[in-house]
Structure 1
Amino acid sequence: MNQPGVPVRVVVVDDHAMFRSGVRAELAASGAGQVDVVAEAADVDEAVAAVEAQRPDVVLLDVHLPGGGGAEVMRRTATSVPGTRFLALSVSDAAEDVIGTIRGGARGYVTKTITGPELVRAIGRVADGDAVFSPRLAGFVLDAFAGTIDVAAVDEDLDRLTEREREVMRLIARGYAYKEVAKELFISIKTVETHMSNVLRKLQLSSRHELTRWASDRRLL
């Protein structure tokens, strides 16, 4: 448990420098005296080095990182820095990301829509040993442990897809048109079509309607 009156020492891990700067500024404004950002990192190797050097109380960890993702950071520091706790802070609210990150060792998972004061409170709770989730995401974890979501099947299916194919799959399943997906991901419509064809082939589905149903059944939307 963190000592009263002593700031929680935090490392911020995200591959977008502007986002890291924004988090640092938000924590400084909302958590004066409560949170101390001691380091930042942009990829897995930087994150592991920062966590091992700083031995922070809490790591704010993005799920998708160059070099292996947030789960790889937790795996590589589990033995060397056993006292550090991890709180996922991600744009993704997909069930497989939430469940996979918790299975990897995180104590909580919140999305980037969280406010500064809410994030300060979440960091404090994780530092004290509590588990913290954005409301909708807590249901994913409960369903996974209750057996409502077949996590093994979800992981096996998604392992067939590349990171970009997962992004395209999720947007298409949510009802985005190819043109909208292309704009969202900064790729061409032709590239979206290619990714969609690969997704349907790998998942053995025949239409976007089947894809939407498949993703909905697995809580991926």
Structure 2
Amino acid sequence: MTTVVIVDDHAMFRAGVRAELQAQPGTPVEILGEAEDVATAVAAITQHRPEVVLLDVHLPGGGGAEVMRQLGTHDTRFLALSVSDAAEDVIGTIRGGARGYVTKTITGPELVDAIVRVADGDAVFSPRLAGFVLDAFAGSIDVAAVDEDLDRLTEREREVMRLIARGYAYKEVAKELFISVKTVETHMSSVLRKLQLSSRHELTRWASDRRLL
């Protein structure tokens, strides 16, 4: 059995992942615990010493990268499981020490396979995300420039920005991120103000130019 700790700030999402993993026939995955932020993640990983951590990228307390930084050379391997498939998130997380990166659209059987492969020492990415990593290390993406733009936004604003730029309706964004439509509207207004943009159309073009979609 491959032992796992699930780290995500949304309790409903953690419950969903747990249920999906346990629903797979003959699953080789055993869930030892859960955590919701950097502090509880470090504590849970230290206590349980799982083989693999399913790690959210945008985590309260400093993000998934901070969890990996605090644990240092810990034996556990990290598999990022995030709503974001933006280049700078993928690259930053891999630089932080993760062995793989998959998005929350992954199916149950695919997630089980990814966990087992990471536990065995493989690096696991979807083809699109693997391309980001290759491009970054080949110098095709100026990650520093992307980071400078995104530093103006909070982690939640980045999530809202990407979904809106992809054409999601406010209701769809709210459902995806487990927040209210009113909160989505507030974040969207803040994003447009900080980036000095005036419309969804401009936001989509801005994000596309930076390969954030």
Provide TM-score, normalisation by structure 2. 0.85
From 140, 159, 163, the counterpart of 1:167 = 159
SS in 2 for 1:170: helix
Report the counterpart of residue 137 of structure 1 in structure 2.
129
Identity of matched residues, %: 82
Report the counterpart of residue 96 of structure 1 in structure 2.
88
Report the counterpart of residue 205 of structure 2 in structure 1.
213
8 Å contact 1:9–1:37 — kept in the other structure?
Answer: yes
From 102, 113, 124, the counterpart of 1:121 = 113
Which of structures 1 and 2 has the bigger CA Rg?
A: 1
From 7, 27, 30, the counterpart of 1:13 = 7
After superposition, the CA RMSD in angstroms is: 2.5
The number of residues matched between the two structures is 211
Report the counterpart of residue 49 of structure 2 in structure 1.
55
SS in 2 for 1:56: coil
From 149, 154, 171, the counterpart of 2:141 = 149
The change in CA–CA distance for 1:17 and 1:173 in structure 2 (over 3 A counts) is: closer
Aligned residue type for 1:171? L
Query: Using the alignment, how far apart are the partners of 1:135 and 1:206 within structure 2?
Result: 33
Measured after TM superposition, the shift of residue 137 of structure 1 is 1.5
The change in CA–CA distance for 1:138 and 1:77 in structure 2 (over 3 A counts) is: same
Report the counterpart of residue 73 of structure 1 in structure 2.
67
Query: Using the alignment, how far apart are the partners of 1:216 and 1:33 within structure 2?
Result: 39
8 Å contact 1:31–1:117 — kept in the other structure?
Answer: no
Query: Using the alignment, how far apart are the partners of 2:46 and 2:142 within structure 1?
Result: 35
SS in 1 for 2:53: strand
The change in CA–CA distance for 1:134 and 1:168 in structure 2 (over 3 A counts) is: same
Measured after TM superposition, the shift of residue 220 of structure 1 is 0.8
Structure 2 residue runs of 5 or longer lacking an equivalent are none
Query: Using the alignment, how far apart are the partners of 1:26 and 1:180 within structure 2?
Result: 22
Q: Which shows bigger deviation, 139-148 or 203-212?
A: 203-212
Measured after TM superposition, the shift of residue 179 of structure 1 is 7.8
Structure 1 residue runs of 5 or longer lacking an equivalent are 1-6
- 1:203 corresponds to 2:195: yes
The change in CA–CA distance for 1:217 and 1:128 in structure 2 (over 3 A counts) is: same
8 Å contact 1:31–1:120 — kept in the other structure?
Answer: no
Aligned residue type for 1:155? D
Measured after TM superposition, the shift of residue 127 of structure 1 is 0.8
Measured after TM superposition, the shift of residue 199 of structure 1 is 3.3
